[in-house]
């Protein structure tokens, strides 16, 4: 595999832990968790691994300002803002919609890290991002674009390498299950699985996209990631495992399945999930286990991708509060 420039700031390897009480409650399957909620940067998450490679490129290009975009409660934006602060870059975040009345969760942390916040309003996200980038260029701020979700081939390559990290921990699960959205995590894991000769299944639980769209996106990105790493492998959309049965009422809308999953992980294992991504993916995992989708005795690794700061957003907290 080709060696890519990388800044080392994530706390790696992240631990792998058993979840015996949850496994028992679900009957017959063994569930493990890979703690990428503990990657060490500003409350952690999966974007930290990607940023190790993306920031190395920004530094090599002599950039001064990191620019990225996301939802109001974007974990990617929060981790980008923290990494920018750590390495002395300015940071501009282009956030969806209008400025909300109060700051909480990730948005509060974005401002704490000194990021400049730009609200896209009614403007299309890509258009707003391009405008902010062009303005920063005109002002001589030497901007560097961090792709949405960190999901370029360079960002995704971090998850190909994370696969090697898992195997070095001598963990060989039958299934790897996780939340999939912009597709970089899944593309990297799929590419890494092929590169390292993994025999199990890499199953992304879609958070916001129909299966066919996410499969095509992941196959495309896995292909360009493998190419970047100098590996000759071919990926087809049909080979990408995506389950899109748990989209609920849409992106960021918490419902009963997420509430149950978050509560089960909290009360059986003392583990925090988040309302948008890992709560939804865990709800899918729980439902699939109850349906008997995973053959008895198999080992399932839930790759925790972070996101807990969103638990402290009023609307989510009110929904989850039990008293």
Report the Cα 9 to chain-centroid distance in Å: 17
48 binds ligand PLP (CB under 6 A): no
Site string for ligand PLP, 101-140 (x = CB under 6 A): ----------------------------------------
Q: List the one residue out of 47, 13, 110 whose CA is nearest residue 307.
A: 47
Q: Does the annotation count 180 as an active-site position? A: no
Q: Is 65 in a helix, a strand, or coil?
A: strand
Q: List the one residue out of 254, 225, 248, 245 whose CA is nearest residue 316.
A: 254
**CB-wise, 23 or 182, nearer to ligand PLP?**
182
Of 107, 179, 288, 300, the residue at the interface with ligand PLP (CB under 6 A) is 179
Q: Count the site residues for ligand PLP by CB under 6 A.
A: 20
Stretch that binds ligand PLP, among 56-64, 134-142, 183-191, 242-250 (CB under 6 A): 183-191
68 binds ligand PLP (CB under 6 A): no
Q: List the one residue out of 34, 39, 12, 49 whose CA is nearest residue 185.
A: 49
Stretch that binds ligand PLP, among 27-35, 96-104, 112-120, 299-307 (CB under 6 A): 299-307
Q: List the one residue out of 79, 255, 250, 53 whose CA is nearest residue 161.
A: 53
The C-alpha atoms of residue 209 and residue 250 are separated, in whole angstroms, by 9
What is the closest distance, in whole angstroms, from the C-beta atom of residue 21 to ligand PLP in the complex? 23
Strand pairing report for 30-35 and 16-18: antiparallel
Of 198, 265, 277, 294, the residue at the interface with ligand PLP (CB under 6 A) is 277
Determine if residue 318 is left, alpha or beta; phi over 0 gives left, psi from -120 to 50 gives alpha, anything else beta.
alpha
The C-alpha atoms of residue 78 and residue 184 are separated, in whole angstroms, by 17
Of 44, 147, 183, 275, the residue at the interface with ligand PLP (CB under 6 A) is 183
**CB-wise, 65 or 225, nearer to ligand PLP?**
225
Stretch that binds ligand PLP, among 114-122, 219-227, 236-244, 304-312 (CB under 6 A): 304-312
Of 76, 194, 217, 280, the residue at the interface with ligand PLP (CB under 6 A) is 76
Stretch that binds ligand PLP, among 4-12, 83-91, 123-131, 174-182 (CB under 6 A): 174-182
Of 44, 173, 184, 275, the residue at the interface with ligand PLP (CB under 6 A) is 184
Strand pairing report for 90-95 and 65-70: parallel
Contact 306, 39 (CB under 8 A): yes
Tell me the backbone φ, ψ of residue 25, rounded to 5 degrees.
-65, -30
Beta-carbon contacts of residue 279 (< 8 Å; ≥ 6 apart): 254, 258, 259, 261, 262, 273
**CB-wise, 23 or 151, nearer to ligand PLP?**
151
Stretch that binds ligand PLP, among 82-90, 95-103, 131-139, 180-188 (CB under 6 A): 180-188
What is the closest distance, in whole angstroms, from the C-beta atom of residue 187 to ligand PLP in the complex? 8
307 binds ligand PLP (CB under 6 A): yes
Q: 28 is written with which tokens? A: 């017959």
State whether the Cα torsion 8-48-226-67 is positive or negative: negative
Q: Could you give the residue numbers annotated as active site?
A: 74
Q: Which residues bind ligand PLP (CB under 6 A)?
A: 45-46, 75-76, 149, 151, 179-186, 274, 277-278, 305-307
């Amino acid at each position: 595999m080709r060696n890519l420039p990388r800044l080392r700031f994530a706390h790696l390897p992240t631990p792998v832990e058993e979840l015996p009480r949850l496994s028992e409650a679900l009957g017959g399957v063994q569930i493990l968790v890979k703690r990428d909620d503990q990657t060490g940067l500003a409350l952690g998450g999966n974007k930290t691994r990607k940023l190790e490679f993306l920031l190395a490129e920004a530094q090599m290009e002599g950039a001064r300002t990191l620019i990225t975009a996301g939802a109001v409660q974007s974990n990617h934006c929060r981790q980008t803002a923290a990494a920018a602060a750590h390495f002395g870059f300015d940071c501009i975040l282009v956030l969806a919609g209008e400025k909300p009345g109060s700051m909480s969760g990730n948005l509060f942390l974005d401002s704490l890290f000194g990021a400049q916040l730009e609200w896209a309003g009614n403007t299309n996200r890509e258009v707003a991002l391009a405008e902010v980038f062009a303005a920063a260029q005109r002002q001589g701020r030497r901007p560097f674009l961090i792709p949405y979700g960190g999901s370029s081939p360079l960002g995704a390559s971090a998850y190909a390498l994370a696969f090697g990290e898992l195997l070095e921990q001598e963990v060989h699960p039958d299934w790897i299950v996780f939340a999939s959205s912009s597709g970089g995590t899944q593309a990297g894991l799929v590419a890494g699985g092929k590169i390292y000769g993994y025999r199990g299944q890499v199953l992304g639980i879609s958070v916001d996209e129909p299966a066919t769209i996410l499969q095509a996106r992941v196959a495309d990105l896995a292909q360009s990631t493998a190419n970047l790493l100098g590996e000759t492998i071919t990926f087809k959309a049909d080979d990408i495992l995506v389950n899109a049965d748990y989209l609920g009422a849409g992106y960021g809308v918490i419902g009963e399945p997420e509430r149950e999953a978050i509560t089960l992980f909290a009360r059986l294992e003392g583990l925090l999930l988040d309302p948008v991504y890992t709560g939804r993916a865990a709800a899918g995992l729980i439902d699939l286990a109850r349906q008997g989708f995973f053959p008895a005795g198999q080992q399932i690794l839930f790759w925790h991708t972070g996101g807990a700061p969103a638990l402290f957003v009023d609307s989510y907290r009110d929904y989850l509060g039990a008293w």
